[in-house]
Amino acid sequence: MHGKSRPPATAGEAIARMDQYVALGLIGQQEVAQLLGLNVTDLTCLGHVLGAGDAPLSAGDLAELTQLTTGAVTGVINRLERSGYAHRRPDPSDRRRVRVVADPAAALRVVAVYEPFYARLGALFADYSPDEIAVIADWFGRATAEMQAHLTRVRAGEIGPPPA
């Protein structure tokens, strides 16, 4: 598939469209979380657990991925267990650690909600050439690193609103 010709856009226009997408995504995540009986943080963590597939995450891995404290992650895992979405499994290489695994039936409920959207995105990607998709993937990877760096500075108090 060859890419289609596209109207020109400035970086500012692209950022505005990204802001719209992110804002709608936040609302969407809240609605999906509510539909599944979870809160957004728990849904986000469950997404990481599901994404890990056959390499289950430790609580520490989950804390690092989400930039939550290990104490907060313990609460998340407790709630995911109570709601039947995940459970703890002993780490085979270190019995002092646990791994978090998704419940297969619960994973199917989550997939049932997200799969139609991912199919729509897949159809959207069909309009792009492999080179264009590589640029999009590169941009998202690099933008994620920039977001992590920015959040680190916000959390350290280096960035914030001016004094009132």
Separation of alpha carbons 53 and 99, rounded Å: 12
Residue 2: pLDDT band with limits 50, 70, 90: low
Structure tokens at 11: 């970086």
Give residue 53's region: left, alpha or beta (phi > 0; psi -120 to 50). Answer: left
Q: Using CB atoms within 10 A of its CB, is residue 57 exposed (0-12), middle (13-18) or buried (19+)?
A: buried
* pTM attached to this predicted model: 0.85
Contacts of 48 (CB under 8 A, 6+ apart): 57, 62, 65, 66
Average pLDDT (75-79) is: 97
Summarised one tens digit per residue, pLDDT across range 91-128 is: 888 888 889 999 999 999 999 999 999 999 999 999 99
pLDDT of residue 3: 63
